[in-house]
Copies of this chain bind each other. A is one copy, B any other.
Amino acid sequence: MAELYITIGRQFGSGGREIGKKVAQALEIPYYDKEILAVAAQESGLSHEFLKSYDEKPTNSFLYSLVMGQQRISPGMPGNTVEQLAANAQREAVLSVAAKGSCVIVGRCADYILRDKPGLVRVFVCAGHDARLQRVIHRDGVTEKEAEEKLRKMDKTRASYYSFHTDRKWGAAESYDLCVSSSLHGVDAAVRVILEFCKG
Q: Which residues of A contact B (CB under 8 A)?
A: 11, 121, 124, 126, 171-174, 176-181, 184-185, 189, 192-193, 196-197, 199-200
Complex CA gap A177/B124 in Å reads: 11
Q: Which residues of B contact A184 (CB under 8 A)?
A: 121, 177
Assess whether B174 is in contact with A171, with CB atoms less than 8 Å apart.
yes
**Nearest opposing residue in chain B for A155, CB measure:** B174
Query: How many copies of this chain are found per oligomer?
Result: 2
Q: How far is the CB of A86 from chain B (nearest CB, A)?
A: 27
Assess whether A126 is in contact with B189, with CB atoms less than 8 Å apart.
no
Q: Which residues of B contact A172 (CB under 8 A)?
A: 171-173
Complex CA gap A192/B192 in Å reads: 11
20 additional A-B residue pairs with CB within 8 Å, beyond A180-B197, A185-B200, A192-B196: A11-B174, A121-B184, A124-B179, A172-B172, A172-B173, A173-B173, A173-B176, A173-B179, A176-B179, A177-B180, A178-B178, A178-B180, A178-B181, A178-B193, A179-B179, A189-B197, A189-B199, A192-B199, A193-B196, A193-B197
Complex CA gap A180/B184 in Å reads: 16
Assess whether B176 is in contact with A181, with CB atoms less than 8 Å apart.
yes
